[in-house]
Amino acid sequence: MRCNLSLYLVTDPDLCRGHGLESTVAAAVRGGVTMVQLRDKHASDTEMIAQAIRLKEILEGSGVPLIINDRLSVALESGADGLHVGQSDTAVHEARDAMKPGAIIGLSINSLDELAAAPVEILDYIGLGPVFATPSKQNHAQPIGFEGLATLAQASPLPSVAIGGLKAEHCRSVREAGAHGIAVISAICGQTDPEQAARSFRFT
């Protein structure tokens, strides 16, 4: 596997506001996150490119890749390590053709039908969820629970990361369901001490 999905931080501009995006990410990396995804549904491309470039500097030398949510042009122009897309976002084929060799591309999956339709040969990982209902994503799909997570993780030919309403106490259930890691927004971004919050996850 080219990426370590163990503890995958997805950022949210509002929840990161307290400490600031860059300090939150730096603290989370000290606390042990293994992947970082820049996600901002409202910023302009220009703003997001600037943020991505600053996060890349913070992540430099840490071995933690920077993934961009949804926006291929931001991933390309910032020189990020990868792109995460949802079912209605940028087509995976277009992203794979445009990104540099070795770029990490992930896709959100909520059902066996979506898994069957996914172009797994050109993906690196899939995000499975939401496991639970979550206020961090508007209009999210039907929650799959740990049972749905297990069905999808075990049917997946690709490494998977579970997401949606997850906290440190869920690490064991996520691992037992067969996912390769746990992805969170609010359990790290919204916390008073993001470093300690990240440290409290023990996935392996």
Interface residue list for ligand TPS (CB under 6 A)? 8, 10, 37, 39, 69, 84, 106, 108, 127, 129-130, 134, 136-137, 140, 161, 163-166, 183-187
Residues 6 or more apart in contact with residue 156 via CB below 8 angstroms: 109, 115, 120, 126, 128
**Minimum distance between the CB of residue 53 and ligand TPS, rounded to whole angstroms?**
20
User: 61 or 82, CB closer to ligand TPS?
Assistant: 82
**Minimum distance between the CB of residue 174 and ligand TPS, rounded to whole angstroms?**
12
CA nearest neighbour of 34 among 58, 63, 11: 63
User: 61 or 192, CB closer to ligand TPS?
Assistant: 192
**Minimum distance between the CB of residue 84 and ligand TPS, rounded to whole angstroms?**
5
User: 21 or 166, CB closer to ligand TPS?
Assistant: 166
Residues 6 or more apart in contact with residue 33 via CB below 8 angstroms: 7, 8, 9, 64, 188, 198
Point out the residue whose Cβ comes nearest to ligand TPS: 127
**Minimum distance between the CB of residue 190 and ligand TPS, rounded to whole angstroms?**
7
Residues 6 or more apart in contact with residue 201 via CB below 8 angstroms: 7, 32, 168, 171, 182, 184, 187
User: 26 or 188, CB closer to ligand TPS?
Assistant: 188
Distance of CA 59 to the CA centre of its chain: 15
Residue at token pair 């730096």: 26
User: 61 or 106, CB closer to ligand TPS?
Assistant: 106
Distance of CA 6 to the CA centre of its chain: 11
**Minimum distance between the CB of residue 187 and ligand TPS, rounded to whole angstroms?**
6
